[in-house]
Structure formats: C-alpha cells, structure tokens
Amino acid sequence: MIPSTSTDDARNITSVALQSERAFLEACSKNAPAFEKQEYARTLKCGKAHIPIECFSTKVKGNASRKFKAIVELPNITPMQLMDFIGDNAHRKTWDKNIANLEEVVIAEGDEIESIGHSVGNPNQNFKEGSKDQVHARCVVLRCQTKQVGPVAGRDFVDAMIVKALGNGAVFSAGGSLSRSEAGAIFPETKGLVRGFNMYGCGMFMENISVQEGRPCTRMQYIIHSDLKGWFLPAVVNNVLGGSFCAFFECLINALVARGYDIADSGR
C-alpha cells in the first residue's frame, strides 16, 4: 500500500520535480552544451521500419557515470500517443525487457503545482492551466525497479516527476530521485534490489516536427544520468547504462509495431 503524503511532503516532492524540470528543459534547448561523444548509434529495422537512433554521452564534473542523450524520430504517431504508450506502466512491464516493476502515485496536479512552484521560489513562467503554453500538468512519484543487467544487480529508483502536455502538442516528463529518506517514506526499499539515484534533469521530450499528408512525426529526446550505486568501475556502469538505453528503443519500436502503429520509413 502506498501511504498518503502530507502537505509538506507534497510541497517538497513537487519542488524536487520542478528543479528537475528546469534542468531537463535547459538540456533539451538549442543552446544547451553539446554532448561530447556519439555512442551506440544504430538503425533499427522492424518490418518496413528503418529508424535511426542517435545516442550521445558526456562527462559530468564530479560524477564518474556519464550523462546520456538519445534522439529518435518516429513517424505516424503523435507526441501524446507516444507519451501515453510509454506511460502505461502495466503495459510497459510487458514490453520493456529491463523493467521488473513500475508503481506511481500522484502528488499534485494543475494549479497545485503552480502554487507550490511560487511558494518555493521556483515559479514556472510557462505554467498557467488552460493557457496556450500548457494545458495539463501533474506531479508524480514513480518507482522503477529494473532487472539485472550483466554484472549489475537489479536497481530500485524512486523519482519525483513532472509530466506536462503543452498547447502546441508537445509533451514531456522530467524528474530526479528523491533523497533516501523521502523515497523510503513512500516506497520502502525492496530486499535484493539496490536503491539507485537518478540525477536532476532526466526525462523525455516529445514534439511533432512535421505533418506529411496528414500524418504526424514525433521527435523524441530522452536524457538519463544515473548513479547505480555499488562498487563498479565507471566503464562497467557506463556500458550497462548505454546498452540499456538503446535496448529501450528497440523494445519500444517493436511494441509500437505490435500494437498496430505504422512506424514505417517515412523517407526522412
């Protein structure tokens, strides 16, 4: 059972999510510093689909694990359709081979988020329910439990996340892990899993980049920067993270095709 959160808890959790949102949007902007290396780039083929995936990584001062960013363009699906597909936690457990379990609790929605943002000195200037900039927002706590990958045992992440739908059709989710005590109060640690930590600024941004003959094409940016904890060489951690990152897209594209989405080569 997921315990209820107090007003102070909700305020603190939403504050973490808003800080992560700001860091994430900065990393997605055109003026963001370039990532140093392109690694794990590949073209995935599934039936008629030929989907190139760009995958970059960069060093982060004071942290041994690298920060990863992937960019993919998926034709014939809207940003909202894609976000809803990935955000269906029960269904995702059936197609994402790295996921063991997902649980979510809603902390705040709509005007509550704006109010908390102003009270903690972190107002979101783009947030106004019903405005052309934003049409919906919610703050959630998500527990993501992963399976063992190579020598790295299963991990357990508890993140505060902001999920927003914008008036221009773009959608995004952005978040970072709660402190161990905050996370434990909502989702106690699970025996056999190591509690990892996602840095502020992780997330997914999806926008419609074109409509050809009435068909959309969604550009997705996905950023992760995780501390897996434990005693591993940085090279081992980075290889596991990079490999899992790209495996996610392979699983996603196969699942979309299985669901009936025509993710076919659009000639782009």
CB 251 within 8 A of CB 97: yes
When the pLDDT of each residue in the chain is averaged and rounded to a whole number, the result is 83
On the question of pLDDT at 176 being above 90, the answer is: yes
Q: What percent of the chain has pLDDT over 90?
A: 44
Q: Output the pLDDT for position 205.
A: 96
| Residue the block writes with tokens 């669901």 | 259
Q: Output the pLDDT for position 78.
A: 94
Which CB contacts under 8 angstroms, 24+ apart, belong to 129-135?
131/167, 132/167, 132/168, 133/166, 133/167, 133/168, 134/164, 134/165, 134/166, 134/167, 135/165, 135/166, 135/167
Classify strands 42-46 and 37-38 as parallel, antiparallel or unpaired: unpaired
Worst-scoring range by mean pLDDT, 68-77, 131-140, 176-185? Answer: 131-140
CA–CA distance, 223 with 200 (Å, rounded to integer): 10
Position 105 confidence tier, pLDDT thresholds 50, 70, 90: very high
Q: Output the pLDDT for position 245.
A: 79
CA nearest 60: which of 214, 254, 264, 238? 238
On the question of pLDDT at 99 being above 90, the answer is: yes
CA–CA distance, 211 with 15 (Å, rounded to integer): 36
Worst-scoring range by mean pLDDT, 8-12, 171-175, 217-221, 261-265? Answer: 261-265
Q: Output the pLDDT for position 24.
A: 92
